Every structure is written in C-alpha cells, then in structure tokens.
Amino acid sequence: MCGIVGYMGNQDATPVIMNGLRMLEYRGYDSAGICTMDSGEVEIRRSSGKLVNLERLLKEQPLYGNIGIGHTRWATHGKPTVANAHPHKGGSVVVVHNGIIENYLLLKDELSNKGHKFLSETDSEIISHLIDEKLKSTTSLEEAVQQALKELQGAYALCILCHKDNKTMIAAKSGSPMVVGIKGNEFFVASDMPAIISNTREMVIMEDGEMAVFRNGEVKFCTLDGEDINKTSRIVDWSPLKAEKNGYPNFMLKEINEQPQAIRNVVAGRLREDKGDVFLEELGLNNSGLNAFERLCLVACGTSWHAAMAGKYLIEEHCRIPVDVEIASEFRYRNPLISEKTLLIAISQSGETADTLAALREARSKNAHIVSICNVVDSSIPRESDGVIYTRAGLEIGVASTKAFTTQLVALYLLTIRLGRANGAIDLKKGQEMLAALNKLPAQVEKTLELDSQIEEIACEYLTSWDAIYLGRGISYAIALEGALKLKEISYIHADGYPAGEMKHGPIALIDREMPVFILAPNDRHIVKVRSNMEEVITRGGKVVALCSEGDNETGKRAEFTLQIPWAGEALSPVLFTVALQLIAYNFAILKGKDVDQPRNLAKSVTVE
C-alpha cells in the first residue's frame, strides 16, 4: 500500500503534505518521509515508524519550499527502516512510490552495472535511478520519466522531483490509485481524495498509463508516449470528514459505539414498508434485470469476505439463488466461470483493495454485471461498478474494521430483501417482517454494547492465553471467522474460527484448559446441535464462553462465562453477535496494552497484491 502526496503552488509545501499524509496514514505507518525543493535544491527528511516521528524530526530540522512530495509506507520490499523509507533519491531524481515493481531485481542489476549505488532494500529506489539514467540521454525530465516507466512491470503511483528541473513535478499511475486536485495554479496529488479535499474540491482522477506534468502554474496530462490527454476535472460534493475521537480513547472504540447510528444510516430512506421491499435504485437493475441472473458471485477480502460469507447464507436461504463466495486474490488468477448471467458483487470498505478491484476487472472482462457494496464514496471499486450500495458507515479510521462490517451485513440484508421480492421468494408478509426486524436493530446494538463490562471480565480471565477458538453454525460460522480475525489483528492472540460441527474432524485436538472457546449459539435452528458441540468441548476440559440469545438460560449452564445477546432473528442476530465479538477483541487488546487503531504490520487499505 503506502500513501503518497505531492504539492506545487505558492504555499509552504511541508504543512500541506503533512496534512495529506495524516489522512493517508491508514494506508501504512511503517515509516514516513518528505522531500521539498527550495531554491533548486532538494532536501529530504525520513523516519521509521508512525508519522508522529517525522513530525518530530521536522520540528528539529524544518523543510522549506513550495514544491514537495511525501510518503507514508506499508513495507513490502525491505524492513521498515529509515533507509527503506521514501522518498528515494537516485542521482538527481527523487521519487515516492505506492505499488510494487515486479522486475526490480533485473533493473537493479542493470543499473548497478552502470554504476548506480543503491542504499535501500526496496523495489521503489530503482525508479529514481532508472529515471536518472534516462536523463543522461534525453532532453527533459518528462521524457526520461516516460522512457523509464515503460520499463517497469507491476503497479505504481508516483510523484517525482528532480533538482535539475526544479520548476517541475511529475505524477504517474499504473495500477495504484491517484488523484490530482486543482485550485487555480496550485496543484495537489494524492493516493485518494480525503488527503487533499480540505484544499480543493476540483479533482481529476488519473487512469492507468497516464502522467501529469506540473510546471509554472499549469498542468498537462499525457500518455507515456507523450500524447496529450484532455482530462476534465469534477467538483466533488462530499465534505471532508474530520477524524475526531469525540472523547473516546481511540477510534476503534468510537467506531464500535457508532454502530447503532451507522445502521440507521445504511437503512435511512431505503425501506418500503407498504411493499415489504426496499429502494435500491443505485443497483441500476429493475425486477426483470435482477431476475435475469442465474447466479451471484460475492467477491472480497478479509473482513469484507466474511460479510460475503454471511451474504451467501442470507441470499441462498431467502432468495433461493445460488451464490458463490470468492476470496478476491484467488478469484483473479483462476480463470473463474463467469458470464453475462452472473451478478458479481464486490464488497469493500475502502473501495481500493487491489485484489478486489482486479477481481472486479476479471469479472468485467467476462461480461458479468457488477455491483459493489462499498463505504468510501467515489473510490475505485464503485467507480468501476455498474451499480453500488453505499454502506454509509462514515469514515472508519481504526484499522480493524467494525462499523464497516456490520453495515455491510445490513446492506446484504437489504439486497436479500430486494432480490427476494423481485423473484417472489420473499412475499409481502415476510418482507414486512424482515423490515420490522431491521427497524429494531439499532436499539438492540445499543443493548449489546452494554455487555462491555462483562466482556472485560472475560478478557481478564483469559489474558494470558496464546490461542482461542470461535465456533458457529450456519451464518454464525461467518461471524466466528470475523470474531477470530478481530482478536488476531489487534491483540496478536492466535485465533481460528470453525464451523462448530467441523471441530471433531481435527481442531478438537487443540482443546485444553488454557484456551478459551467462544461458542456462538444464537437461538436459531442450530441451537440444539451447537449445544452438543459445546458439550464436546467441555467434556475435554475446554473453557467455554457461550454467546447465546437473551432469555436462553439453558445454553450457558456449563460454560465458564455466558453473554446473553438480544435476539434479532436468525438473519440479523449475526450483527449483534459481531458487536459482542468486537468488544471481546477490543478488551483483550487494551488489557494487553496494544495500539488498537494501528495494529502492527497492518494497513487500512490494501492497494498492493
């Protein structure tokens, strides 16, 4: 991943770039760096770790100048050290890079043979050297960049400076996102709009293979062959959202607590109670359009993939349409069976996940109709979709996804109603019942949040455990996977989710007196079977934390701890169980003193393969 920012104008570049990087830190926080050009000289400051370290460095060693580029890194090639931090300088050329250069070793060898000395382990550093090399035989920086980029294989979004051409900044993109902001004769470049929207609303979205050359208060867009491109800007009408903690100790807890409102938002204006149906005009498909598909294919990564898993249970159960669920990074490389009769649904919080975007493009090439379920408005995935259901969860800063996931579940529930009403699998009465259950959900989330102090006790009890197991049946299996992922991500405790009935086929060997087993036992059709699975654990000395439905005084009788969660029906209870599991992971991590907002090795938006 990584986030990049560039600026050229009449302001001091450093604060503009640092503000932009702050908004991009969700893309990586292994190191950060900035380069400005002042009186024809380039100066660089870099530090390892989070942006705050670079801020400290800049206080001691400030930078000046009206042109600059900056970077926040999520390490792919090379450890998160200062030497590997961007910007990288090769001769006279300085670059910041987001993406991966796949043929960098070959290029590095060639350049080394020509006398270039490399100071980092990164793939990115070769770009600066390659452009520097091309400058020896070309007349302009622009031409040198064009020649160099043609030799790169892989993905890049780049900002480039060169002290030999100190009135120019160049940006280029292929495979990694990039936008240009324009405000008169001031120019902003960034990996995404939120990084620069506080400066301007006039944006140009760069496409693959395009370059932007900023010089003397003007910008020119062109191809790598030097052909001019006439790009039109658009005025973005959404407001920059402020990242405020509003009194919470961290963003994750704030976002967990925002879920009742986030769910109200995803539902707002979409319910058609009289028809037992929902308004989803954004899909761009009427009843006959929806009924034309033979199957659905839900594709996503990570937490969003867990939402897809839950979506399969919902849609197959209620709409009787076959649904495949695919991990995007697998789907994109296995020549999947997709046709114009497939409705592909890409699910993504950020809308920028490289694998999900590539899967979408793969499906597009096979003529699928594409709808996305996305949180970030105007991001790449919705932009490339035929229709989109926005989840309206608001800005999610905590790296571990919380409100984005539960709003994805609700969006899938809305889609289920729409599909079922369109094909008749859901009749008026059932549609109305489903909407009534949905209307009660925000208050039930509020009630679930009140379990926090009980959950803290559980976390205290098992704080020294190294492992945990999460078990569930049916749709709760998807939620068990999500609960385990949350615990892993923020507390670094190893955790696995299994279908409860599958445990006896292997994982049961792990049961001991140290490891908590979280059993998801909502009062649905599986309850009796889940209780038996719980007995199997207890019989082997396992420590069970039972999550069951309010009023169920049976399930938890032999568990070490019981959490009673409001009953919202089989289809919506997963949302409430998720909230409890988020609080479990959160309490473990906080008691262990971990940074829940920026867990190690992770980034919010994964824009590399």
Give contact residues for ligand F6R (rule: CB under 6 A): 301-304, 348-350, 353, 356, 400-401, 485, 489, 605-606
Catalytic residues: 2, 604
User: Minimal CA–CA distance to 195: which of 19, 36, 6?
Assistant: 19
Distance between CA atoms of residues 211 and 228, nearest Å = 9
CB atoms within 10 A of CB 219: 19
Helix (H, G, I), strand (E, B) or coil at 525: coil
What's the DSSP call for residue 552?
-
CA dihedral (351, 357, 363, 364) in degrees, to 10, reads: 80
In terms of CB distance, is 356 or 549 closer to ligand F6R?
A: 356
**Cα–Cα distance list, 159 to 1, 13, 234, 308 (Å):** 15, 14, 22, 36
In terms of CB distance, is 37 or 590 closer to ligand F6R?
A: 590
Distance between CA atoms of residues 94 and 158, nearest Å = 10
Distance between CA atoms of residues 174 and 183, nearest Å = 25
User: Minimal CA–CA distance to 356: which of 601, 602, 606, 154?
Assistant: 606
In terms of CB distance, is 183 or 592 closer to ligand F6R?
A: 592
In terms of CB distance, is 152 or 490 closer to ligand F6R?
A: 490
Which residue carries 């409430």 as its tokens?
A: 576
User: Cβ of residue 586: shortest distance to ligand F6R, in angstroms?
Assistant: 12
In terms of CB distance, is 20 or 302 closer to ligand F6R?
A: 302
Output the 3-class SS for 477-503: HHHHHHHHHHHHHHHCCEEEEEEHHHH
User: Cβ of residue 402: shortest distance to ligand F6R, in angstroms?
Assistant: 8
Strands 31-38 and 67-73: antiparallel
User: Cβ of residue 379: shortest distance to ligand F6R, in angstroms?
Assistant: 9
User: Cβ of residue 300: shortest distance to ligand F6R, in angstroms?
Assistant: 6
**Residue whose Cβ sits closest to ligand F6R:** 302
User: Cβ of residue 357: shortest distance to ligand F6R, in angstroms?
Assistant: 9
In terms of CB distance, is 200 or 304 closer to ligand F6R?
A: 304
78: alpha, beta or left? (left if phi > 0; alpha if psi -120 to 50) = left
User: Cβ of residue 489: shortest distance to ligand F6R, in angstroms?
Assistant: 6
Contact 585/599 with Cβ under 8 angstroms?
A: no
